[in-house]
Structure 1
Amino acid sequence: MSRHQKRLSVPDSWPVERKTAKYTVKARAGPHGEAGVPLLIVLRDVLGYVDSTKEAKYATNEGNVLVNGEPVGDVRRPIGMFDILGFEEREEFYRVFPDEGGRLALTPIDEADADGKLGKIADKRQVPGGETQLQLHDGRNLRVDDGAEYSPGDSIVIDWDGEILAHFVYEEGALVTAVQGQHAGEVGEIEEITVIESSAPNTVSVDTDDGSFETIDEYVVVIDENFVGGDAGTASEEASGDSREDEGGAEE
């Protein structure tokens, strides 16, 4: 299977320039599906911490790059929405967050806020033993003793030991960000949730500082004000998008 991805066909969420070279690196299979951005692109093109695949491999092999609290040794590991990146030697930490237009961007956060990752509850079900299993948007599963307080659409923050640090309820008045659709990256409060009595998806109206928008409920994630602190989007705007290529004509 090819290790390269044509730039013109990368997902809209990828923070890469499309016309500087024909190819870019391809993410391995893993969390976030096709929207997952290879770690190499984040390290090289977004943050500018390395200039080549070789340097990126050296950094990861030294255990200097943390993703969701764990050292990562694979430069093609997919990075996606709400992942936490840590660079302890630099004392720098980032949350992956959508900027306007839906591109993945890096929001600088404090180390104290880098101890857990947000997940949207996609489904919940009873499992043998009386526990409730919460299925999250990124494929993670979590079992809780009492699932009555949790509902699909809610968001939770889970630390690296699997403990729930925070719970944000999906309801009118909740702060949300759109992560897909034409309003991706916009943040506002839910004004109204409309339940459609058919196979069509439910919709949600969101009130923002610049007006309002309507989208399907699958496209929004409940957050709190801490998720929009800092200068979201700055890291992605600084992406170099240069055209380093290997001998085969594909960017490496």
Structure 2
Amino acid sequence: MTKHQKRLSVPKSWPVERKTDVFTVKAGAGPHGKEGVPLLILLRDVLGYVDSKKEARYALSEDAILVNGDPINDEQRPIGIFDIVAFPAREEYYRVFPDEGGRLSLTEVGEDAAGSRLGKIEGKQQVPGGDTQLTLHDGTNVIVEDGSEYSANDSIVIDNEDKSIVAHFPYEEGALVTAVRGNHGGKIGEVDAIDVTPGSGSNTVTVSTEDGGFETVEEYVVVIDENFTGGDD
């Protein structure tokens, strides 16, 4: 299997130039599915901290780079929306957040804010023993004793050290959301209305913003709070 990915066919969310070279690095197996951006692209093409895969591998071998609190040793590890990428030796911490247009970008945050990450609940099921498993947007699972307060499309904040839930943001009218995909990717606003579509079609959500508003499918929005909109936290 090839380790390369044609630039022209990468997802629109990837922060790479498509017409410079033919190929770029291919994401490995891991969270975020096909939308995940290889860590090497962030280190080389976005931050400019390394010039080559060899340099990236050396930095990773020194446990110099953390993703969601864990040291990473694979330069192809997929990085995606709301991940926390930390460089403790540099005292630099970034949250992956969509820019206007939906491309993934790095928003610098403080060390305290880098201690947790946001996750959108995309699935919920009971597991043997009576606990509830919450499946998040990046494919990871969180087990809770009582899942009654959580619903699909809610968001939770997970502590990167002990993996506990430290905050919960329900998906409802009045919630603050950001669009992570589609024509309105990167826009932030409040939910005005949720239109439930009968059958198997996607529900739609109307969002009001400072410059008007937009309508999109609810799969494209994630509930956040004001601490997730910039680097002042």
Counterparts of 1:63-82 in structure 2, within 5 Å, are 63-82=63-82
Q: Distance in 2 between matches of 1:147 and 1:78?
A: 29
Runs of 4+ in 1 over 6 A off after TM superposition: none
Q: Distance in 2 between matches of 1:72 and 1:90?
A: 16
Q: Distance in 2 between matches of 1:94 and 1:21?
A: 27
Counterparts of 1:1-252 in structure 2, within 5 Å, are 1-160=1-160, 161-230=162-231
CA contact (8 A) 2:110 2:231 kept: no
SS at match of 1:190: strand
Letter in 1 for 2:208: D
Q: Distance in 2 between matches of 1:49 and 1:116?
A: 24
Q: Distance in 2 between matches of 1:16 and 1:182?
A: 18
Q: What are structure 2's unaligned runs of at least 5 residues?
A: none
Q: Distance in 2 between matches of 1:185 and 1:197?
A: 28
Letter in 1 for 2:64: N
**Deviations 1:126-171 (CA, angstroms, capped at 9, x unpaired):** 2222211111111111111111111111000111222001100101
SS at match of 1:106: strand
Letter in 2 for 1:8: L
**Deviations 1:37-83 (CA, angstroms, capped at 9, x unpaired):** 11111001100111111111111111101111111111111111111
CA contact (8 A) 2:84 2:95 kept: yes
Q: How many residues are paired up?
A: 231
Q: Distance in 1 between matches of 2:132 and 2:40?
A: 37
SS at match of 1:204: strand
| Deviates most, 92-101 or 52-61 | 52-61
TM-score by length of 2: 0.96
CA contact (8 A) 2:117 2:159 kept: yes
Q: How many angstroms does 1:199 deviate by? A: 1.8
Q: Distance in 2 between matches of 1:128 and 1:34?
A: 30
Q: Distance in 2 between matches of 1:61 and 1:224?
A: 35
SS at match of 1:122: strand
Q: How many angstroms does 1:192 deviate by? A: 0.5
**Bigger relative contact order, structure 1 or 2, given CA contacts below 8 A and separation 6+?**
1
TM-score by length of 1: 0.89
Q: How many angstroms does 1:230 deviate by? A: 2.3
SS at match of 2:31: coil
